[in-house]
Structure 1
Amino acid sequence: MTLARRALDMFTQGANDNSMATFQKAGLLAEIGIWQDAYELMSALPEAVPDRASNAYSRGTSALYVGETEQARDLLELATDLRPHSGTAWHSLATLIDFAAEPELAGRLLAAGQALRSGSPIDQASYLYAVGKVHADRGDHAPAFAAFAEGARRMKAIAPYSRERDRIGAQEAVNGFTAGRIAELGVGQREATDRTIFVMGLPRSGTTLVEQILTSHSAVSDGGEINRLGLFVKDVEGVSCDALARYAAAEGVSEIARLWHHWLDERFPGSGRIVDKTNNSSRLLGFAAAFLPQAPLIWLRRDPLDCAWSCFRTCFMHRIPWSYDLEDIAFHFQLEDALMARWQEILGDRLLVVSYESLVTQPDIWIRRILQHCELTEEPQVFAPHENRRTVTTSSVMQVRKPINRAGIGVAQPYREYLAPFIQAYEG
């Protein structure tokens, strides 16, 4: 990453620091997750670079993620005024709005459907998710579900899902692992490995809330979906225990830990601890457990129906192919349930399983358990994670800006009849 940032600096300098080069640099920084820097670069650009609509959308999105919600709203409204056929702009704006309280803006969004007929497939799909949110906010359940379902159908055509590939991946993730073999793989580790705190679980299960709680602590400097464990997979040539054993024999467990720390230091300079809540970490948990034996491991669980509905109605920034079909969601959830049960057997108390419902109902009790599991002292600010002004780039960006509450419990009940395909596939 250090070399990549140097290359970006050289690129803009080679272009005599012109505005278009700076805009492109900001976009690349956003892609690798450095949103604060991207936001600052975008904020310094003239409003017409590269054009007013693109500028407003890019600045609005970066403002949303860094917590500047009022500015984000102004910019995203401008983007939709200038380019009403931008479904992605409407979708980002919808994230910020309670349409039940803003009928005029809801009307504008619904009226934009005519312009979207000429939009790209991704714009059309994103717009449909925004339409779904309008109806959901207003309590109109049937048209809300219809819009979300149509958006999901279009996304499924863009990003198809393979159940067989998912099944094989889940099977390999625990292939050959036992408590004894994990202990053997960690023998000889001379590096401290407690800097990273791994938080995993299905999307929309509360992982961002736990990340927000932990990063409120003075000893934890940052976190995010950092996608570094996956970099090892290419070298390891697999995720099974045998593949990891071969890799450890060739590289040495301490060298593996040093490489991990190097990657962390590049992304997160400084000495604080880091929360890694990368999506799909359950498939790489063996690597973390074996080679980073001091790293705390936390798994979030949420009511399956609420979690399924929340996934289905979300147009994820990073496409999640199984989330576009209710029966595919059920299949993936079953795989993750089996993985969690197996990892609990293998890891025992090292894996802390946290119920989302328990966390939001009894936050003081569960926040203390999480802190204890991570060997963090109690500090008052962790009990008010909504005051943590750090960058958040997940679909929970607005929820975690609010005090911990129970609003996410029972969200699927008004849609239960429409979710029958999930219920039958998951429970049957």
Structure 2
Amino acid sequence: MAGTGPTTIGRKPATTVAGAAPTGTLERAIAHGRGLLERAPALAAEQAREILRVVPASAEALLLLGLALAALGRIEEAVPPLREAARRNPESYETWRALADQLVLTGDNAGADFAFAQQLRCQATDPVLQAGALALCRNEIPFAERALKQYLKQHPTDIAAIRMLAEVAGRIGRNRDAISLLSRAVELAPSFEPARFNLATVLYRMGESGQALEQLEALLAIAPHNSAYRNLAAAALGRIGEVDKAIEHYDFLVKRHPGASKIWLSYGHSLKTVGRQADSIAAYRRCIALEPGFGEAWWSLANLKTVSLGPDDVAAMEHALATVAELGNEDRYHLHFAIGKALEDMGEAERAFAAYATANALRRTELDYDADVVTALVDRSIATVTPAFLAGLEGGGHPALDPIFIIGMPRAGSTLVEQILASHPLIEGTQELPEMMVIARRLGAEKPGSAYPATIPAGEKLAALGREYIEETRIQRKLGRARYIDKMPNNWQHVALIHLALPNARIIDARRHPLGCCFSNFKQHFARGQGFAYDLVTMGRYYADYVRLMDHVDRVLPGRVHRVFYERMVTDTEAEVRALLDYVGVEFDPACLRFHENSRPVRTASSEQVRRPINRDGMEQWYNFAPFLGPLREALGPALTEYPYLEA
């Protein structure tokens, strides 16, 4: 048996049943293949295939093939043999773990969770623990919880049981409990990698990316080449604005897994964020070449606002819609959004609008958006936030001067305002931060029948909310500048909370012509949130509610909010920039007029646009679609007719 090539099993003896091989020979062949995994995975794969030619039913050979393909970075090819190995030997802990790792990298989180549960089941030896693990695999959560809690009463330090109970907590949304349990498991066994990785995953899902990275750094110190660890680390780094470090991980991952379309997609997103447009285009194109029906990759390419797709691209997308059998709803609406953008760039307004309408209709099937909830919040806010209410809570907030909030509708020029401000040496741009909305949600902002904003507390509790916001957003601040920007547009619903909790913060309302702004939202697919944006009528209502509340704020807090009209910023840039900086309280700096030279990471859909000098493109894009916007006009009502800059 040569040490440098695959071991062959040889011809079956005449006495061997078809498809079988002498046990000793098979074991030696598997062992040899295992020995090749680290130093020569291609030879290990060849060895596994040779074994499978003789013993097609060998679960060990299937596992070897899957591990070898994974080591070669061929994730999509590794999954089928691993699935088959698990089917043939469902008691193999190693097989389920290998399958779970590969499914994580393909983005199949549901499949990974199932494989992970099976992995836990295989770990269990005690009958009670086995029963709990089996119930977890069958998603029989109440039984699994009872069995595991019963077991832990007798065995409180059993790490496998703690880890399983954490999985139960995660399945039913008790993520804090999951974090506590997994932290305990890591405390008991610091070298137990699976529990630490589970902990990092839950922390990431909970938005605690800094803490997730602490766990991932410990894991990567042990296993620096582990792709699952690096993939999650890259995602967490991106969340806290460390995009260059995220790209280092993606550089490694795409080299190791050149056929992993979802990793190429994430790589493209990061490259776009730092302004490497040519590289991001190449990454998106690579993703499409690997998976022609991958709608999000097509949309990501189209969503580079400075890139135009052509007739060949439209034909390729339409072909994918017509021929790719496994195409899901998400791929379909992404493709229709991308086709709409391509047709718009080609000047075919009617066909483009039809594509956008189809995309939005498909997206709406996945949403549970109720326009009445926002209207009710605005009505409540207008009734509650009176001069007397504000006076009763005045003086209770946190005195920090640091935050600058940019609020309003998405696609209203907020990224432009952010880029202008972030070009000032005293101001740092971050991203759309969720912390204020998290605080508002805790006060009942999204709860049916809630009295919010009447639930905003007074005194020290109010100061604590402001302090919480400052502390929770600190991780986003990298440059040591005195001021920083939070451009979460939806914070317009919480201006009273911002004003009271952070009375020295600045609040800027970025506003754009209702038809131009709303149509820009209608043709945009958002990665998350913005459920109002997929229907012209609900969008018109949302915009009108936003204007109603901001008008009320102007009455009860005159001058508190500085408004930037996009049209005025475009036509009289320097005067508007000077007024903006004066409101913020910093000296004028000419760099703010050269905002397009700022190379800072930008994460929004306007990332490419704000890297060009200011222009009128955004003011005029909707004109060709005016005949189709009747329902939007009607829903907007006075918000349209009273807008001071009527374009058409």
The TM-score, its normalising length taken from structure 1, stands at 0.92
Q: Which of 340, 358, 362 is the matching residue for 1:132? A: 340
Is 1:213 paired with 2:455? Answer: no
Q: Which of 468, 471, 487 is the matching residue for 1:277? A: 487
Q: In the alignment, is the contact (CA less than 8 A) between 2:536 and 2:631 conserved in 1?
A: yes
Q: How does 1:343-362 map to 2 (within 5 A)?
A: 343-362=553-572
User: Aligned residue for 1:264?
Assistant: 473
1:29, CA displacement in angstroms?
3.6
AA of the residue aligned to 2:426:
A
1:66, CA displacement in angstroms?
1.9
User: Aligned residue for 2:518?
Assistant: 308
1:330, CA displacement in angstroms?
1.2
Q: Which of 260, 264, 269 is the matching residue for 1:61? A: 269
Cα 1:168–1:40 change in 2 (3 A) is: farther
Q: Secondary structure at the match of 1:242?
A: coil
Is 1:383 paired with 2:583? Answer: no
Partner Cα separation in structure 2 for residue 98 and residue 235 of structure 1:
40
Q: Secondary structure at the match of 2:365?
A: helix
Partner Cα separation in structure 2 for residue 50 and residue 229 of structure 1:
39
Q: In the alignment, is the contact (CA less than 8 A) between 2:305 and 2:606 conserved in 1?
A: no
1:8, CA displacement in angstroms?
3.0
1:200, CA displacement in angstroms?
0.6
Is 1:39 paired with 2:247? Answer: yes
Partner Cα separation in structure 1 for residue 211 and residue 595 of structure 2:
34
AA of the residue aligned to 1:240:
Y
1:320, CA displacement in angstroms?
1.7
1:182, CA displacement in angstroms?
2.7
Is 1:243 paired with 2:455? Answer: yes
Is 1:333 paired with 2:543? Answer: yes
1:45, CA displacement in angstroms?
2.9
Partner Cα separation in structure 1 for residue 248 and residue 439 of structure 2:
32
AA of the residue aligned to 1:268:
R
Q: In the alignment, is the contact (CA less than 8 A) between 2:425 and 2:481 conserved in 1?
A: no
Q: In the alignment, is the contact (CA less than 8 A) between 2:510 and 2:565 conserved in 1?
A: yes
> Does 1 or 2 have the higher relative contact order (CA < 8 Å, sep 6+)?
1
Q: Which of 601, 610, 617 is the matching residue for 1:400? A: 610
1:105, CA displacement in angstroms?
4.2
User: Aligned residue for 1:230?
Assistant: 437
Partner Cα separation in structure 2 for residue 7 and residue 166 of structure 1:
39
AA of the residue aligned to 1:210:
V
Q: How does 1:402-421 map to 2 (within 5 A)?
A: 402-421=612-631
Is 1:371 paired with 2:581? Answer: yes
User: Aligned residue for 1:123?
Assistant: 331
Q: In the alignment, is the contact (CA less than 8 A) between 1:200 and 1:300 conserved in 2?
A: yes
Q: In the alignment, is the contact (CA less than 8 A) between 1:174 and 1:286 conserved in 2?
A: no
Q: Secondary structure at the match of 2:429?
A: strand
Partner Cα separation in structure 2 for residue 398 and residue 106 of structure 1:
22
Q: Which of 371, 375, 396 is the matching residue for 1:163? A: 371
User: Aligned residue for 1:77?
Assistant: 285
Q: In the alignment, is the contact (CA less than 8 A) between 2:240 and 2:476 conserved in 1?
A: no
Cα 1:354–1:46 change in 2 (3 A) is: closer
Worse-superposed segment, 78-87 or 47-56: 47-56
1:60, CA displacement in angstroms?
1.0
Cα 1:61–1:101 change in 2 (3 A) is: closer
Q: In the alignment, is the contact (CA less than 8 A) between 1:176 and 1:241 conserved in 2?
A: yes
Q: Secondary structure at the match of 1:384?
A: helix
Q: Secondary structure at the match of 1:319?
A: coil
1:223-272 deviations in Å (ceiling 9; x for gaps) = 2101111222344344734311xx234x4444333222211222324343
AA of the residue aligned to 1:365:
A
Q: Secondary structure at the match of 2:587?
A: coil
Unmatched 5+ residue regions in structure 2?
Answer: 1-207, 446-450, 639-648
Partner Cα separation in structure 1 for residue 442 and residue 551 of structure 2:
28
1:103, CA displacement in angstroms?
4.6
Is 1:192 paired with 2:399? Answer: yes
1:92-128 deviations in Å (ceiling 9; x for gaps) = 0112376768554454444433345532211111111
1:166-216 deviations in Å (ceiling 9; x for gaps) = 222323344421345334423255x53210011111011111110111111
Worse-superposed segment, 27-36 or 200-209: 27-36
Cα 1:230–1:400 change in 2 (3 A) is: same
Partner Cα separation in structure 2 for residue 117 and residue 374 of structure 1:
54
Q: In the alignment, is the contact (CA less than 8 A) between 1:300 and 1:353 conserved in 2?
A: yes
1:408, CA displacement in angstroms?
1.0
Cα 1:234–1:318 change in 2 (3 A) is: closer
Q: Secondary structure at the match of 1:275?
A: strand
Q: In the alignment, is the contact (CA less than 8 A) between 1:87 and 1:116 conserved in 2?
A: no
Partner Cα separation in structure 1 for residue 230 and residue 544 of structure 2:
45
Q: In the alignment, is the contact (CA less than 8 A) between 1:174 and 1:240 conserved in 2?
A: no
Partner Cα separation in structure 2 for residue 280 and residue 362 of structure 1:
27
Q: How does 1:1-40 map to 2 (within 5 A)?
A: 1=208, 2-13=210-221, 15=223, 17-30=225-238, 34-40=242-248
Q: Secondary structure at the match of 1:298?
A: strand
Q: How many aligned positions are there?
A: 424
User: RMSD value over aligned CA atoms?
Assistant: 2.3
Partner Cα separation in structure 2 for residue 209 and residue 194 of structure 1:
22
Cα 1:34–1:165 change in 2 (3 A) is: farther
Q: In the alignment, is the contact (CA less than 8 A) between 2:268 and 2:283 conserved in 1?
A: yes
1:365-407 deviations in Å (ceiling 9; x for gaps) = 1011100000111111110211111121212122212111111
User: Aligned residue for 1:177?
Assistant: 385
Q: In the alignment, is the contact (CA less than 8 A) between 2:569 and 2:576 conserved in 1?
A: yes
Q: Secondary structure at the match of 2:335?
A: helix
Cα 1:236–1:55 change in 2 (3 A) is: closer
Radius of gyration: which is bigger?
2
Q: In the alignment, is the contact (CA less than 8 A) between 2:404 and 2:485 conserved in 1?
A: yes
Unmatched 5+ residue regions in structure 1?
Answer: none
Instruction: Percent identity, please.
Output: 27
